[in-house]
Amino acid sequence: MEAGQLVPDHIVLGMIEERLSHKDVRKGFILDGFPRNIPQAQALDELLDKVHQPLDATILIDVDLDVLIQRITGRRTCLSCGQVYNIYTSPSRLDDRCDKCGGDLHHRMDDNEETIGNRLRIYEAQTTPLINYYRQQGKLKNIQGVGEIDDIFTKLITVLDRLTNIKPEKQREESTKMSTAKKKTATKKAAPKKKAAATKKKAVATKKKAAVTKKKAAAKKKTATKKKAAVKKKTATKKKAAAKKK
């Protein structure tokens, strides 16, 4: 890292995945300075799809090369409170000490011209292609990073505010789609139940029909028995009457 080289992808992605598992990122997050190349961007897309937290936008803060070099080489950081100064554009009033806490100001070892030159070469070769990568996805937002800090910050907040206004609409659309899908699934599940109920009713109706048929058969049999008994009785009476005559 001190030589201007990038941290290995698997380390950075592992750190991001672990951080995204925390509850406080469910409402949103910002990744600063990552991804730095196409493979990282593709791996990040896969990771965010897996955790159902896709990127809404990628913000490119566009700065001229000479301004960029001035910002990096002139950067000074307070070792005590982390306040950042620039000896060219926003110097401390106390020379090498922090205005806020009086702590010592530190010049990072990797903020030298050799390391910066190496960083810029890596940026042109590996990071610049990301501009088209995210532009093709319709996620690229460009902000001019030259001017007063407050002005640049206002531009950034404006872009983020637009995203937060768009996101609820997307969430409502996704919620509607999910609700419709659930209803369809519920209807599909209900269909076999209805079919089973209809089959059950049909079976009950068949049983009732069989019972009626059985009753009718029993009634017919009973009637036939009665008739047969009546005929036998009548015949026996006739025979008895004939015997008396004799």
Domain edges within the chain: 9-182
**pLDDT beyond 80 at 99:** yes
d(C-alpha 152, C-alpha 154), whole Å: 5
**Strand partners of residue 141:** 59
d(C-alpha 217, C-alpha 213), whole Å: 6
Structure tokens at 56: 């809404």
**pLDDT beyond 80 at 246:** no
d(C-alpha 78, C-alpha 19), whole Å: 27
CB 159 within 8 A of CB 59: yes
| Top CATH class, 9-182 | alpha beta
CB 47 within 8 A of CB 53: no
Sheet of 84-86: strand order equals 84-86, 75-78, 105-106
When pLDDT is cut at 50, 70 and 90, the band that residue 192 belongs to is low
* pLDDT averaged over every residue in the chain: 78
Of 28, 64, 65, 63, residue with least CA distance to 48: 28
Lowest-pLDDT range of 8-22, 94-108, 141-155, 232-246 = 232-246
When pLDDT is cut at 50, 70 and 90, the band that residue 33 belongs to is confident
Highest mean pLDDT among 23-27, 73-77, 167-171, 172-176: 73-77
**pLDDT beyond 70 at 60:** yes
Residue predicted with more confidence, 164 or 131: 131
